[in-house]
Amino acid sequence: MPRFSMDEIGDLINSGQTIEVVLQGGAPWGFSLKGGAEHHCPLTIAKIEAGGKVHHTGDVKLDDVVVGINGVPCDKHVEAIQLVRTAHHSLSLTLFR
């Protein structure tokens, strides 16, 4: 599984090799994350809650690499959790598969 630098994340987002999934309605969003740059591995979708908002989209898969949250390029777990927690009514995930 690839790990991307912040420069590479920007390039991926600009290249069209990513998908954007927008969730509405506020938390709970129905997924958990693992990894991140501080763990020397990519930031990925670790779990999808059955019946949750992410599950209902059908667009998010286990092990998708998260490269952005709410339009902010992201590769660190701590930063990602903060971005998710501060999303109140909608959450946008930029994913690389």
Asked, for residue 64, whether it belongs to a domain, the answer is: yes
Residue among 47, 48, 40, 46 nearest 75 (CA): 40
The confidence score (pLDDT) of residue 82 equals 98
Asked, for residue 45, whether it belongs to a domain, the answer is: yes
Asked, for residue 1, whether it belongs to a domain, the answer is: no
Asked, for residue 84, whether it belongs to a domain, the answer is: yes
- Residue recorded with tokens 């390039």: 11
Q: Where does the pLDDT of residue 3 fall: very low under 50, low under 70, confident under 90, or very high at 90 and above?
A: low
Q: Which domain holds residue 24?
A: 6-96
Mean pLDDT of all residues belonging to the chain: 89
The confidence score (pLDDT) of residue 40 equals 84
Q: How many structural domains compose the chain?
A: 1
Asked, for residue 82, whether it belongs to a domain, the answer is: yes
82 Cβ neighbours under 8 A, 6+ residues apart: none
pLDDT in tens, 60-90: 999 999 999 999 999 899 999 999 999 999 9
Distance of CA 95 to the CA centre of its chain: 6
